[in-house]
Structure 1
Amino acid sequence: MRGLFAFLLLLVAAASPAAAADDGRFVERDVASSAFGPIHVTLWLPPGYDRDTGRRYPVVYMQDAQNLFFLDRSNFRKVWAADKAALGLIRSGKVAPFIIVGIDQPGKERYQRYFPVKVPSEPMREFIAKGAGPLQGDGYVAFMADELKPLIDRDYRTRPQPRFTAIAGSSMGGLISIYTLAERPDVFGKAAAVSTHTPLIDPDMLGKAPGLAATIQGSWRNYLYHQLGAPKGRKLWMDHGTATLDQYYAPYQSVVDAEIHRLGWTDKQFRTRVYPGAEHEENAWARRLPEIFGWLLSDWKP
């Protein structure tokens, strides 16, 4: 009887929700935007969020939510597995538990929405808009800073200060992430710009217009000098690979790196990396996301 009783206790424990692994949970919702209409977001709430109701959490806002978590929603049947990267770091005690807010990209208007409007000169901006359509980056930054974040801070237990608020994205999503860090340091204190599309336009165009590459590099110097400024408590990660689209990024990233260092950012505040052989795609970004999060969020102590 004693053995049977012990066996029954094991069965009850195995069936108990408390015994199940807590991998966090997802929440999906639409958020109103004055500039764009409803925008769909997917939140990942970390393990313990529902149990430890007295705790507040830092937040990472990420672009291209379709490609962050779920294969069946992804554009290329590949995902960043952002929740898995976060889980590994949280369970190892390297960073404090944090919330991820994934923001859907709009499809055919993704380029315009993620474009850093003030980086190029006005003539260059007009040239780009003529081919691509109205550039939406400023409106999107305002949505994230003034509409989405206040809602998240209201409805969830966040730590709302800039040092506990990060933004991340890849390619054009990397552009809008560094742009947001520069434009709204009152809201965002950390950014990860992964495989950042620093050429701003299709690299094929650069070889057809003499002087265009130098113009874009000069635009980066000018913008960063006037808008990014000194770190003032912020942290920034930038990287790129060397294959597929990433093979074009080095000349522009080197200009960005030099200017950021000239502004006083040291290795403690600014980390820039090159991944030889890495391609411009989600599996490559997933492989290095634990390293990215681990460095960027290292001061979010458990």
Structure 2
Amino acid sequence: MYLNDGQNLFGDRPTLSGLSWHAAEAAAGLINSGALPPFVIVGIDHSGNTRSYDYLPYPPGNANGYRLDAESWPGGGVDTYLRAVVDEILPYTERTYGVSSEPALRGFGGSSFGGICALCAALRHPGVFGSLLVESPSLWFADERLLKHDLPDFTGPWPARVFLAMGTKEYSGIINSDQSVFDSKLVADTHELAALLERRGLVEGERLFVMVQEGAAHNEQAWAGRLQVALRFLGTDWRAAKHC
């Protein structure tokens, strides 16, 4: 399972919020309980100030005034970033750590802009990843161009499984102002994406898991809390695939 924002995955100290996904503990719990076969989580560190450029196909904009802080952030480098993931990071980890080269056994994902990057991977590199983890995707970016145009226009194959999650207080839960309208918009966008995926054959409960978590905010605490559920769903077919 390849995940963006590697600094936020394993330890609390490297993160900006002071909390991580505790990904190692989540994986160990699933493996030790027998819920999943042994697997590896590969954290890909973000680049700091150019993170939005690497993860987005377009500059983010300001979400109709709800994200004025993002108005000047860069975007448009996701193709270069994903090419590096596919051409450099995947072969390196397969060669160095012995992880699988089978698409069915590969997952990719992230949160926020990292979740957008995961969706772009499905569009740009269909067939490379067998599952996607899409946490709190910032579908508001670039006037929802990805949600309204790029995703509906895509006619290629989707990964076998997608885990999609959003909190009901994504932004009101982390800043000291009323963001309830924006929060509701993010939840509505999530349902719109889920409906699009179902139309593409990802039936909810089979190939698609959608979670809208009451009271959850846009932070590592929320993503950590949902990680075991996500991995358990995305890894459902791993055991069978390993024995094929």
Length-normalised TM-score, structure 2:
0.82
Letter in 1 for 2:81: Y
Q: CA deviation at 1:168?
A: 1.5
Bigger radius of gyration among the two? 1
Aligned to 1:224: 151
C-alpha separation in 2, matches of 1:176 and 1:194: 11
Aligned to 1:288: 226
Q: CA deviation at 1:266?
A: 0.8
C-alpha separation in 2, matches of 1:228 and 1:170: 24
Q: Any unmatched runs of 5+ in structure 2?
A: 62-69, 173-182
SS in 1 for 2:212: strand
How do 1:80-159 and structure 2 match up within 5 A? 80-117=21-58, 131-159=72-100
Q: Any unmatched runs of 5+ in structure 1?
A: 1-59, 121-128, 202-211
C-alpha separation in 2, matches of 1:94 and 1:118: 40
Aligned residues: 220
Aligned to 2:191: 254
C-alpha separation in 2, matches of 1:67 and 1:131: 24
Aligned to 1:181: 122
RMSD of aligned alpha carbons: 2.4
Aligned to 1:275: 213
Cα deviation, 1:26-66, whole Å, max 9, x if unaligned, reads: xxxxxxxxxxxxxxxxxxxxxxxxxxxxxxxxxx1111111
C-alpha separation in 2, matches of 1:118 and 1:226: 20
Whether 1:65 aligns to 2:6 is yes
C-alpha separation in 2, matches of 1:244 and 1:261: 24
Q: CA deviation at 1:191?
A: 0.6
Task: Say if 1:224 and 1:260, in contact at 8 Å, map to a contact too.
Answer: no
SS in 2 for 1:109: helix
Whether 1:237 aligns to 2:178 is no
C-alpha separation in 2, matches of 1:237 and 1:61: 14
Q: CA deviation at 1:134?
A: 5.0
Cα deviation, 1:198-245, whole Å, max 9, x if unaligned, reads: 1115xxxxxxxxxx5xxx26x5243223326444x6211111001142
Length-normalised TM-score, structure 1:
0.67
Match of 1:166 among 107, 110, 115: 107
C-alpha separation in 2, matches of 1:90 and 1:226: 38
SS in 1 for 2:162: strand
Letter in 1 for 2:162: L
Q: 1:300 to 1:119 in 2, by over 3 A?
A: farther
Cα deviation, 1:273-299, whole Å, max 9, x if unaligned, reads: 100100111111111111010111111
More strand as a share of residues? 1
